[in-house]
Structure 1
Amino acid sequence: MQWNVYLSGEIHTDWREQIEQGAKELGLPVTFTSAVTDHDSSDAAGDHLMDNDNQFWRDHQSSKVNSIRTKNLIEKCDIAVVRFGDKYKQWNAAFDAGQLAALGKPYITLHDENIIHPLKEVDAAAMAWAKTPQQVVEVLKYVITV
């Protein structure tokens, strides 16, 4: 079986690459998908539809275009990893976690100990909490190969 793993969340570090490399080194049968990780492209996703001088409507328009991708990728995944970083608030990642929980999709949260409290509900619905990308790779190895 080829596993489809959706990678959600923080875009300012190389956690995705670390997980992908770890899975590759182990030869895991995994395909990784993700939301658009280029911040400027994501922000401009709906710009071609209409000019907007109002930031709210520009964000609203682009969010809807981006959600076409994320909604479909989340529905098709076998498991997801939802990463929360320390520097920025990843409201979109929390929203993804809610969608995953509502769909009954298993997910792993990935974050440091210093944000346990604000993520208590998100973590409560997760199947695992990891602190490092390497721990995520170990979970994938176990669930895929054992």
Structure 2
Amino acid sequence: MVDINLTGSMRSASAFRGALSNGGAIVNIGSMFAFFGAAHAPAYAATKGAVVQLTKSLAIAYAGDGIRVNALAPGWIETAMTAAPRADPARNGELMKRTPMGRWGTPGNLTGPALFLCSPLAGFITGAILPVDGGYLIA
């Protein structure tokens, strides 16, 4: 988990830093579990929390190069990784009851927020963590 989630994010940012200077943007992928613990996936939650802190630190470090660094924090998204809770009627009901929008997100729901953070419309946003979770974090 550390290699993929944290080290991979750092290496990618470092690799693209030169090409992105003078107006580039990096969007990391955090998780809602960066905001609270996950008893069922402690290593995942810890590494996503580290990605959020990395995002904030890189936002400061890269600002002088004209690079903005932000992250998305997806909630419950329909992926292979969430197949088990979606298939369990009790767990699915529990999750949807807490999600104000009352549905699972799709990978496509991350596209617009990512494009926004990379666009000139977000030209004065750096170090932000944007939840894309149907309201799960506020419920």
Relative to total residues, which structure has the larger helix share, 1 or 2? 2
Structure 1 length normalisation: TM-score? 0.30
Relative to total residues, which structure has the larger strand share, 1 or 2? 1
Structure 2 length normalisation: TM-score? 0.31
